[in-house]
Structure 1
Amino acid sequence: MDWVPWNDAFGLSSTGGGWFVRYLIFISFSVMFAACASFLVGRFAPYAKQSGIPEIKTFLGGYVIHNLMSTWTLTVKAIGLCLSVASGLWLGKEGPLVHVACCCAYFFLRFFPTLRDNEARKREVLSAAAAAGISVAFGAPVGGVLFSLEQLSYYFPDKTMWQSFVCAMIAAVTLQAFNPFRTGKLVLYQVSYSTSWHAFELIPFAILGVFGGISGGLFIKLNMQIAVWRKKHRVFRTPLLEVVAVAVLTAVINFPNKFMRAQSTELVATLFSECSDLTDEQLGLCGKSSVPIVAVRMLAASILGFFLTSLTFGLQIPAGIILPTMCIGALYGRTVGSIVREWTAAAPNFFLFSACEPDVQCVTAGTYAIVGAAATLAGATRMTVSIVVIMFELTGALTYVLPIMVSVLISKWIGDAISPRGIYESWIRFQGYPFLDNRDDAAAASVPDVAVAHLITPFDDLVVLSAEGHSVASLRALVNTHRFRGYPVVLDPTSRLLLGYISCTELEFALSTTGASLPPSAPAVFTGPGGLRRTASGLSTTSQHPAPSAGDDQQQRQMLDLRPWMDQTPITLSSRTTLQLTANLFLKLGLRYVLFVDRGRLQGVLTKKDVWLLLDGKELDNKQRRVGREAVNLDGQESGVIHSVDDSGGRGAAAEERVEESRGLLSVGSAR
């Protein structure tokens, strides 16, 4: 059954009001789909908005974001993505599909306790799931693995690469079996070329790289300026009204231009294709008499799409950034390719075109669209290797790898000069997520070479646990009152001798298992029988005392020994260590906290969030770090670090859960 235009359904001709009827219906459906997607996100799953890649990247970096991959988020993301793509807005599905894949993996993790309760293994599974998401989105399994390695994963060992490869391969095979496009292709815009490129084409390919870097860098700046303006100025009462307004604006602009009216994947597929492969060509790309008009329309669509994408990315709907940037680059890339193609046909004797064969088309305009798409995507995301491999897997043309590499390389150089961060890193910073990029050598080099002792949270401001003097009930009350990621353990508050560090999760587990069989008044200790005692020469251990009697054994059975759950060798540094060295350890080793000691005496703590604030420029002196110690800490934060309020007065994603935020470090308190 063939589709029937709306004007034919109403019995109207194109000249008798039919075009206007189609225009109104196009706007109506666009607004309806976008509004439904926004309503679902705002009502049921706030974390289902946008692409989800910045949040996934932050999560893989060690920061816990609750409800990011919940069942509601998965459901709303999947349904909302279909609606938002159908609305015709300038957005893509590739990034959200990564989020959907990670949500699916997170859902199945609950059935495997060994994986669910192991944070390291959990992140390995999510890295593999992200590779599967890109494999399905692009039909590029190898590109999916490289995307997870280059863009998402904080730690990517060899075994994770193998797991990601298997996962991406199975995802691609499953997609091939379903054959969703009924074409036998993994993706709708999968193409192949019969001709190769010539040496003189490296010049326009390099120019496309320049355009890609400029457009990608300017896109990031414009998009972030719009995001800041949107946060400061509430033009619309609700995010839903803003989505409706943008949908109306987009539909009004899209419909008159057939390049913008076309569905994004179909547009990219057409722009990538050779003229000989376009059996039902409706965009007029191959008509020789209309080349100037088509070129102007493509440039107009590229420029308008640039602004509409900047306006759309950040709305309360599921929206990716990969496909829109590819559309923008493919439009101006095809324009350049059409110009070069007509030039070679009009001046075959020009010295640059000496390699062209007579009476044979010398230039394939579709290749310029691919090079332009890769360059713009690289300028916006700052990915390199994964983009080249994805484009190669899309086209299947090994001969075009070098032109794509040249354009991507130039695009990244220029993009870095315009904007130091990619679009995902920019949104991580804007949302206030404490993500430390271990690939950012410039950030570590910019740290001042000062003593870290002036920046740590001092002992007097910490919630610490002494070796003795606790009961099962008092520790339960402590865990419920001070929701920190963990607690330093010292011999006693006077000596400050560090014994270890126990995480809140381990302490809760010990209290719920071994502690459950003990009365609430049962003592809980972090030392062995007899404990440790101070002597004139230092510490004395129980091995120097007689063996415990039968009565002592009975007493030990009524005591909760927490040593098996305590990290007795935590990472420590001297309090005289420089900030530069400390920051590099956090960046390269992925640490969550470091304890600072002086001759075994605990002096203070520095956490991942503190280092992030320092590298981000929000913490410059010791006075600023004293603000907000009274605030309630978030469940899942590093050692009591509190979410920070950004300089613009807005809050990160935690504000959506109505959690009070503040700047500062570990809260003041006593565990005794």
Structure 2
Amino acid sequence: MASSVQLNKTPSTVLSARAQANGGPGETSATIEEGDSHGPEHIGHKDDGPLDWYVEGPGRRVGYDDLTAIDWIYEYTKERQRLRKILAHHTGLVGNLRQLLDASHVWFVLVASGISVGCVAAFINITSDWLGDIKTGYCKKGVGGGDFYLNKQFCCWGHDEFAQCQDWTPWPAALGIRARAGQFVMGYIFFIVFSVLFAVSAAILVKHYSIYAQHSGIAEIKTVLGGFVIRKFLGTWTLVTKSFGLILAVSSGMWLGKEGPFVHLACCCANIIMKPFESLSQNEARKREILSAAAASGISVAFGAPIGGVLFSLEQLSYYFPDKTMWQSFVCAMVAAVTLQALNPFHTGKLVLYQVTYTTGWYSFELAPFILLGIIGGIYGGLFIKLNMLVARLRKSASYPFRNRPLLEILVVSAISAVVNYPNLFMRAQLSELVYYLFAECATIGNNDIFGLCRATTAGALSMAWLLVAASLLGLLLASITFGLRIPAGIILPSLAIGALYGRTLGVVVQLIQKHFSTSLLFAACTTDVPCVIPGTYAIVGAASALAGVTRMTVSIVVIMFELTGALTYVLPIMIAVMLAKWIGDVFSTRGIYESWIQFNEYPYLENKDDAVMPHVLVSSLMTRVEEMKCLDANKPHTVENLQNMLRTTSYRGFPVVAFRKAGADVAETVSNRQYPRENTLLGYISRVELAFALERMTRPSGHRPSPEAETVVDSQTPCYFTYHPDIATGCGIDLRPWMDQTPITLNANSSLQLAVHMFQKLGLRYLLFIDRGAFRGILTKKDVWWILSASADGPRAEGFVADAETRRETALEEDESLEEARGLLQPELGEPAHQKMPS
């Protein structure tokens, strides 16, 4: 830790400094983030001198800017200060009740979020199913067709075969077309028109109301939970836009899912509900604990798997997941699942449409096909990520014809998808319906075999198998193009569908082999009274392997599939397939689809893992050296005008405060003499935001001064100090110590890069300062570490410091002038210099 200079001042001076830093009656806690504010009786001592939390310590903070990283250490320090204040000011029964009320805020938010997520999921499921069926016909049930709002399932409720349902009217029949060829052509046209209409409508909603509603949102949620601030990403408009946009996108029949977006919607609900509770909404660390729990509820309603949702949040999303967060996630996921169960959107008692039940077992000869499914799943996952990233890079290229015309691109892709989907019966159906039939046993399907999955003849089974193969290959191609369009779109359900398609195919082949060679010794364990090979189980194992290959998740997928099927006996085959899919997928790349998008968009997300590959060098060879950056000399007087000019002409996020041996000496000249290790003693670090805010507060007109106790007469030449100075006590200078972090995390400049990276990963640091025998030597920021771990080839270090915002790196999601949007996350943080090419 950097040591602070001993300050010889009285308690009255300390209180005067606090009065100068504190806001007046007009200031709100939303503007300034602060910790405890005790009176004089709570002032401690350090080295027999007075201590104030704002003067010696992390300092006061302003709310975080958009697209910046949070300070985890400060946030938890602030929370401890808040709890100490409650304990100090409330004792006895009143104190116990106050603590109980404070603790109840979290549980109220969790329960309310779970209920909201369940209601939103039910609304989306019901509406998207109806609009999806509208592409093929409408319900004329009821007096004068009054039940047109029913989807095909509810319209034909009670019929054994949908083909015999007279209440559902296809569009060609409604137009009086009786010729089979005419019915096919007209049905084809209606299908294409509605598909394009729904997809373009979703794109228009995203463009005009909330650009943050695009994509699945999981990559951004991971980044947010990792400590990054994205304003409006979890706002009300994003929730509304993504809800309706997701309904339209899913109804279009494109190869996308709603499971990933459910996670984003759940986090939006939690973020909105917690806003009235300042103890949660004004603490970024606690807020992320609630968001982790809400993310579990999103998966809970997406799969009907509460436990799987908790594990998904733990394994895939959360950067920091203590025991209390697991318990909170469990409660939120359970409440969401109970709410969805109570609403019963499918009128079947199921939480999701493709939920099935298996009670049969499997035979030892099936182990080989299950292993093969795991291998196929890993190959599929690797190929999908490669192809999807290829398409994403193509979209960013200047030669891409739809680069600035996303609406036209979505129109073209949706039209192509509809043209390809309609002739293939498996691709024409909604993905959730398709997955249900692929998972189900033939005995369960009965007379409702609309896809012909249970054909008894060998020729019929083989022809159906070829359709399954064609659907899986075309689905891979369409899903890789669709995922990344500027509409709400997830990849989980398409992966399940593709895996179920090739899994069912293999199941049909194995079933035909068993029937052909039923007397073989290999199948001696089979009995005649029950089916020996059940293709639906192969679809389940294939779906799990495909999802594992794409996301590289393991435990959560096994639990989710178990909760979907209730087949305890098939847990072992699913585990084998998932394990192999991950191993095979890691051969292509160790990153899953979400990590690949994080990398592609240059989001500042550091994996909290110990397996990061990094060069074996000293941190001194990669840090930004003191000669290359702008430092504030504590021994040199600064004026308000000087500091404001510095803020205007530089783009750093913050400035180290250093006491140079020769006041006013040139930085490069001063530190060049290594014989004086104490010539640039590090006193602290002040953020650009805090410095700008403090100067703005003190330079307000006299009628808007932040505090009547601050008697300093401020003009452009008023001196500003980062250490104690007599001018502060006399009201002739501005004390900036309360806004300075005087205890920044420091490390020796000769430490290994691996140690520095681990400190960033484990402590959630925004920056790390380096010293050599007490002398300040350099700095590394979170973005520096990200570039190092990414081994990026396009991060050259510029000489000196970044003095112009024009030098910022290209944003993660490029600005689209036609959309007038600025969603992109990663402009390099303003306090970060440009980067040199990192060693591979």
Pair in the same fold by TM > 0.5: yes
Distance in 2, Cα, partners of 1:465 & 1:243:
51
In the alignment, does 2:578 pair up with 1:408? Answer: yes
**Larger RCO, structure (CA 8 Å, separation 6 or more):** 2
- Cα distance change, pair 610–63 in 1 and its aligned pair in 2 (3 A): same
Contact 1:219 1:310 in 2 (8 A): yes
Distance in 1, Cα, partners of 2:253 & 2:801:
45
Deviations 1:628-656 (A, max 9, x none): 823329xxxxxxxx8534xxxxx412645
Distance in 1, Cα, partners of 2:477 & 2:730:
73
The correspondence for 1:211, drawn from 376, 384, 394, is 376
Contact 1:51 1:99 in 2 (8 A): yes
The correspondence for 1:316, drawn from 478, 486, 491, is 486
In the alignment, does 2:544 pair up with 1:374? Answer: yes
In the alignment, does 2:341 pair up with 1:176? Answer: yes
Distance in 2, Cα, partners of 1:101 & 1:221:
29
Distance in 2, Cα, partners of 1:471 & 1:205:
73
Q: Tell me which amino acid in the other structure corresponds to 2:443.
A: S
CA root-mean-square deviation: 2.7
Offset of 1:209 from its aligned partner? 0.3
Aligned to 2:497: 327
Distance in 2, Cα, partners of 1:511 & 1:362:
78
In terms of mean alpha carbon deviation, does 583-592 or 1-10 score higher?
A: 583-592
- Cα distance change, pair 499–624 in 1 and its aligned pair in 2 (3 A): closer
Offset of 1:277 from its aligned partner? 1.1
Aligned to 2:812: 652
Distance in 1, Cα, partners of 2:462 & 2:533:
17
Offset of 1:148 from its aligned partner? 0.9
Offset of 1:603 from its aligned partner? 1.6
Distance in 2, Cα, partners of 1:281 & 1:484:
64
Q: Tell me which amino acid in the other structure corresponds to 1:486.
A: G
- Cα distance change, pair 510–397 in 1 and its aligned pair in 2 (3 A): farther
The correspondence for 2:567, drawn from 387, 397, 421, is 397
Contact 2:495 2:543 in 1 (8 A): yes
In terms of mean alpha carbon deviation, does 472-481 or 604-613 score higher?
A: 472-481
Offset of 1:513 from its aligned partner? 7.5
Aligned to 2:784: 610
Offset of 1:582 from its aligned partner? 2.0
Q: Tell me which amino acid in the other structure corresponds to 1:461.
A: E
Distance in 2, Cα, partners of 1:627 & 1:430:
27
Q: Tell me which amino acid in the other structure corresponds to 1:653.
A: L
SS of residue matched to 1:4: strand
- Cα distance change, pair 174–663 in 1 and its aligned pair in 2 (3 A): closer
In the alignment, does 2:771 pair up with 1:577? Answer: no
In the alignment, does 2:695 pair up with 1:499? Answer: no
Aligned to 1:596: 770
- Cα distance change, pair 629–565 in 1 and its aligned pair in 2 (3 A): closer
SS of residue matched to 1:41: helix
Aligned to 2:130: none
Aligned to 1:37: 202
Deviations 1:262-307 (A, max 9, x none): 1010111111111111142201111212211111111110111010
Distance in 2, Cα, partners of 1:512 & 1:272:
63
Aligned to 1:284: 452
SS of residue matched to 2:706: helix
Aligned to 1:273: 440
Runs of 4+ in 1 over 6 A off after TM superposition: 511-515, 662-665
Distance in 1, Cα, partners of 2:741 & 2:735:
13
Contact 2:354 2:432 in 1 (8 A): yes
Deviations 1:1-59 (A, max 9, x none): 33211111111125150111010000000001111111222233222211111111112
The correspondence for 1:28, drawn from 179, 193, 215, is 193
Offset of 1:597 from its aligned partner? 1.3
Q: Tell me which amino acid in the other structure corresponds to 1:168.
A: A
The correspondence for 2:304, drawn from 136, 139, 149, is 139
In the alignment, does 2:528 pair up with 1:358? Answer: yes
Offset of 1:427 from its aligned partner? 0.9
Distance in 1, Cα, partners of 2:794 & 2:416:
43
Contact 2:651 2:804 in 1 (8 A): no
Aligned to 1:549: none
Aligned ranges for residues 100-249 of structure 1 at < 5 Å? 100-232=265-397, 233-236=399-402, 238-249=405-416
Offset of 1:60 from its aligned partner? 1.5
In terms of mean alpha carbon deviation, does 27-36 or 273-282 score higher?
A: 273-282
- Cα distance change, pair 178–559 in 1 and its aligned pair in 2 (3 A): farther
Q: Tell me which amino acid in the other structure corresponds to 1:269.
A: Y
SS of residue matched to 1:585: helix
The correspondence for 1:75, drawn from 232, 235, 240, is 240
In the alignment, does 2:500 pair up with 1:304? Answer: no
- Cα distance change, pair 365–463 in 1 and its aligned pair in 2 (3 A): same
Q: Tell me which amino acid in the other structure corresponds to 2:276.
A: F
In terms of mean alpha carbon deviation, does 37-46 or 282-291 score higher?
A: 37-46
Aligned to 2:31: none
Contact 1:503 1:566 in 2 (8 A): yes
In terms of mean alpha carbon deviation, does 233-242 or 248-257 score higher?
A: 233-242
In terms of mean alpha carbon deviation, does 341-350 or 203-212 score higher?
A: 341-350
Distance in 2, Cα, partners of 1:80 & 1:482:
41
SS of residue matched to 1:136: helix
Deviations 1:196-224 (A, max 9, x none): 11222111111100110001100111111
In the alignment, does 2:718 pair up with 1:526? Answer: no
Deviations 1:456-496 (A, max 9, x none): 22223333334473567766776676565433222356543
Deviations 1:160-200 (A, max 9, x none): 11111111111111111111112111111111113111222
Distance in 1, Cα, partners of 2:687 & 2:782:
15
Offset of 1:88 from its aligned partner? 0.3
- Cα distance change, pair 461–70 in 1 and its aligned pair in 2 (3 A): farther
The correspondence for 1:10, drawn from 172, 175, 190, is 175
In terms of mean alpha carbon deviation, does 53-62 or 381-390 score higher?
A: 53-62
Q: Tell me which amino acid in the other structure corresponds to 2:434.
A: L
Offset of 1:101 from its aligned partner? 1.3
In the alignment, does 2:258 pair up with 1:93? Answer: yes
Structure 1 unmatched runs, 5+: 531-551, 634-641, 646-650
Offset of 1:564 from its aligned partner? 4.3
Q: Tell me which amino acid in the other structure corresponds to 2:483.
A: F
Contact 1:432 1:644 in 2 (8 A): no
Deviations 1:399-424 (A, max 9, x none): 11111000000000000002221111
Q: Tell me which amino acid in the other structure corresponds to 1:580.
A: Q
Distance in 1, Cα, partners of 2:363 & 2:316:
32
Deviations 1:144-170 (A, max 9, x none): 111111111111111111111111111
- Cα distance change, pair 481–116 in 1 and its aligned pair in 2 (3 A): farther
Distance in 2, Cα, partners of 1:43 & 1:412:
39
Offset of 1:620 from its aligned partner? 9.0
In the alignment, does 2:449 pair up with 1:254? Answer: no
Structure 2 unmatched runs, 5+: 1-140, 142-154, 156-167, 666-678, 699-704, 835-840
- Cα distance change, pair 14–168 in 1 and its aligned pair in 2 (3 A): farther
Calculate the TM-score normalised by the size of structure 2.
Answer: 0.71
- Cα distance change, pair 491–346 in 1 and its aligned pair in 2 (3 A): same
SS of residue matched to 1:626: coil
Q: Determine what percentage of the aligned residue pairs are the same residue.
A: 55
In the alignment, does 2:790 pair up with 1:624? Answer: no
Aligned to 2:620: 453
Aligned to 2:555: 385
Distance in 1, Cα, partners of 2:610 & 2:815:
28
In terms of mean alpha carbon deviation, does 401-410 or 592-601 score higher?
A: 592-601
Q: Tell me which amino acid in the other structure corresponds to 1:103.
A: C
Q: Tell me which amino acid in the other structure corresponds to 2:656.
A: P
Contact 1:334 1:368 in 2 (8 A): yes
Distance in 2, Cα, partners of 1:666 & 1:204:
53
